[in-house]
Amino acid sequence: MKRIEVRVGDATARYTLLEDAPKTAEAFWESLPIEGVITHARWAGSAVWVKTPNQPIAALDDIELPVTSIYPGTIVVRPNPRGVAEVFMSYGVAESRGPLGRTYATPVAELEGDGKALMGAFGDTWQGGSTSVSISRAEDRS
Amino acid sequence: MTKLRITIDGVSAVAELKDAAAPAGVAAVVGALPLRTRFVHASRSGNCAVAHDASLQHPSVGIEGQVSMYYPGMLAYDPARGHLVLAYGQGQARSNTGTHWVTYLGDVVENLAELAVKLQDTRDHGALDVRIELGE
């Protein structure tokens, strides 16, 4: 089982890479580490997102397993026509959505445990503004 | 016509309120002035910032000039939640339970472009202080 680690400041949490969408999950894994800036969603609800030009995830142009609900602690990926991938990380009730209505994304990872500190750091961006994020491969301790 | 002066981070703009179409909403908001509060970017409603202040909360005041969609420069009011919304682009009144109706309270008529930049800044840079007072 592959795991990833997400870090915002001192807050970290581990996620399990999902196997429901193997092509997207593998591309996401091969694109790590992702270093960027998370910004709070303005349409999607309780979620933050980061754009990445990393390959091969940025080259994916299809949505392998389309979902619209982004359950708490889920990471989803959706392609962006400008050649980057959008990575959404939810900390509450969230939905893949844009100005024209609902959109779709592929889930790639799921939080292990409650990830309280990281979820709090995600929520803090709503009033505190954007901040740096690091998404990397985690050592497998299982 | 009732006017509001809205000042965020050194940028000042004027909004004209819809006295005829939303008299109860205008009275409720004017009754809370002068107001110093914070504008926070919307998390579900799109291109707008929201002031949430107890002094704006009036559950007995109904929705007037009922709208759900926001357009650039629009000022909307949700009396039950105590939300005053300023849009810098397209948006929609929405919470985690779905879409809502709000009162179409007015429009920014002076200095919208500069104000819009400040409203958009709340997304990347976080909440900003706002002062809302009666305009001339």
**Mean pLDDT, rounded, of chain B:** 96
Would you call A128 and B126 a contact, using CB atoms and an 8 Å cutoff? yes
Taking only the tens place, the pLDDT of each residue in B87-104 is 999 999 998 888 899 999
Q: Where are the domains of chain A?
A: 3-120
Count CA atoms within 13 Å of residue B89 on its CB side: 15
Interval B54-68 mean pLDDT: 95
User: B108 to chain A nearest CA, in Å?
Assistant: 21
Q: What is the ipTM of this complex?
A: 0.78
User: A113 to chain B nearest CA, in Å?
Assistant: 24
How many structural domains are present in chain B? 1
**Domain with B126 in it: what CATH number?**
2.40.100.20
Would you call B44 and A130 a contact, using CB atoms and an 8 Å cutoff? no
Interval B53-65 mean pLDDT: 96
Residues of chain B contacting A92 with CB distance shorter than 8 Å: 96
Tokens standing for residue A11? 């807050």
Tokens standing for residue B97? 């339970």
CA triple A125-B94-A126, angle to 5 deg: 5
Buried b (16+ CB within 10 A) or exposed e, A32-54: bebebebbbbbbbbbbbbbbbeb
Residues of chain A contacting B38 with CB distance shorter than 8 Å: 127
Residue B66 pLDDT greater than 90, yes or no: yes
Residue B121 has what pLDDT?
Answer: 95
Q: How far apart are CA B7 and CA B14, in angstroms?
A: 9
Residue A81 has what pLDDT?
Answer: 84
Residue A142 has what pLDDT?
Answer: 55
User: Splitting chain A (142 residues) into consecutive groups of 10 residues, what average pLDDT does each group show?
Assistant: 96 96 97 97 96 96 93 94 93 91 94 97 96 92 58
User: B65 to chain A nearest CA, in Å?
Assistant: 23
CB atoms near residue B96 (< 10 Å): 12
Q: Locate the chain B residue with the closest alpha carbon to A96.
A: B44
Q: How far apart are CA A56 and CA A58, in angstroms?
A: 6
Interval B55-68 mean pLDDT: 95
Q: Locate the chain B residue with the closest alpha carbon to A41.
A: B43
Q: Flag whether residue B111 sits within 8 Å of chain A, measured between CB atoms.
A: no
Q: Flag whether residue B69 sits within 8 Å of chain A, measured between CB atoms.
A: no
Would you call A93 and B96 a contact, using CB atoms and an 8 Å cutoff? yes
Would you call A128 and B90 a contact, using CB atoms and an 8 Å cutoff? no
Comparing CB atoms, the residue among B40, B44, B96 nearest residue A43 is: B44
A3-120: CATH topology is Cyclophilin (2.40.100)
| Residue range(s) defining the domain that contains residue B34 | 3-134
Residue A99 has what pLDDT?
Answer: 86
CA B39 to chain centre: 9
Interval B71-93 mean pLDDT: 96
Residue A141 has what pLDDT?
Answer: 60
Counted across chains A and B, CB pairs separated by less than 8 A come out at 50
Would you call B46 and A99 a contact, using CB atoms and an 8 Å cutoff? yes
Would you call B43 and A126 a contact, using CB atoms and an 8 Å cutoff? yes
Residues forming beta bridges with residue B98, ordered by sequence position:
B95
DSSP 3-state percent helix, strand, coil across chain A (nearest 5): 20, 50, 35
